[in-house]
Amino acid sequence: MNLYYNHIVDRLIKNIGITRKDLYNITRIESKRKFLAEINLLLAERRIIKEYGDGPDRFRYSPRVLKLYEYEKNIGFKTAEFQLFYFPNAVLEKELEYINNGTQPEGLEFELQIAGYQLKEKHKFFFECHNDIKLNFNKFNYYLWAEYLDPFFKPKESSRKNTTIIYIDNNRSFAIEFIKNIKEKYLPHSNWLLFASTVQAMSFLETKLEIRDSIDLIITENNEGLNGIEFIEAIRELKIELEKKYIHFSIPVMAFTKQAQDLSFLKKDSDFEDIFFHFLKSEELYLLGNVIGSASSPIFGATQN
């Protein structure tokens, strides 16, 4: 149901930064007059805008796209980003039953580009039926955004090192399979250091931090054989001790539990002051994989100096 599909916009999205001459050539429109007429209509509808730069080809066309950001409800980590099928503001206002409260004269367009618009579960069918996505409002919050793609953006060569994760779990068979699945589906460029005991993990962590090697995330188990609470407290004590040596670090910690009642126990008894979160070990892989990816990213992840 591509009611608002436009072949020029589609080519702009797939060829970011293309010049007007090259755009005309790949659209295969029979005349420049017809091409410019379509461009002017898109500009009038604000489906695209004209961005100016330097050089002989001093401007490019910037297409407007709709995106949906997914955030895990409890800890607020961004877990996914979807590019959506395009709808004009008037259509979105009708489907969202949008009411401008008067605080923003631009209405929905302002919210989509500046603040994001939070979807409600009643909007689920509309967005799922027009896009190849599935939304889960029980576990995630969703925010709709609109933006004009930067036609002059030049991506820098990635210098990001592989993510390093310490994982403590006394169930080796589960841990190996879990690491394999996360690496295959969510974090292919990640190094996992698996330990069966918190004593071994703590000794390794202290050594790494003292030589200023970075760790991006720590995952610990909390069960009858492994006390995740004690390990988290030991990390806090290590942080205080290393600060005396002018070694400062902040590493997100994730705890696995087997039973739902353990979650409230962890929350109540842990005095860990940095980023700390916990999930049932039986939680679905999609959620765990994306949260681990977000937690170990530069935005939420570790800092060490």
The pLDDT of residue 236 is 84
Q: What is the pLDDT of residues 60-72, one digit of tens each?
A: 999 999 999 999 9
Cβ atoms of residues 232 and 255 within 8 Å: yes
* 204 has a pLDDT exceeding 50: yes
Helix ranges (DSSP H) in the chain: 7-14, 20-27, 32-44, 89-96, 108-110, 124-130, 172-185, 198-210, 228-243, 260-269, 285-295
| Mean pLDDT, all residues of the chain | 86
Q: Would you state the structure tokens that stand for residue 55, as one six-digit string?
A: 């050089």
Q: What is the DSSP letter of 115?
A: I
Q: Which of 92, 72, 74, 73 is nearest to 84 (CA)?
A: 92
Q: What is the pLDDT of residues 134-146, one digit of tens each?
A: 999 999 999 999 9
- Record the pTM: 0.82
What contacts 246, CB < 8 A, 6 or more positions away? none
Q: What is the pLDDT of residues 217-245, one digit of tens each?
A: 999 987 777 777 788 888 888 888 888 88
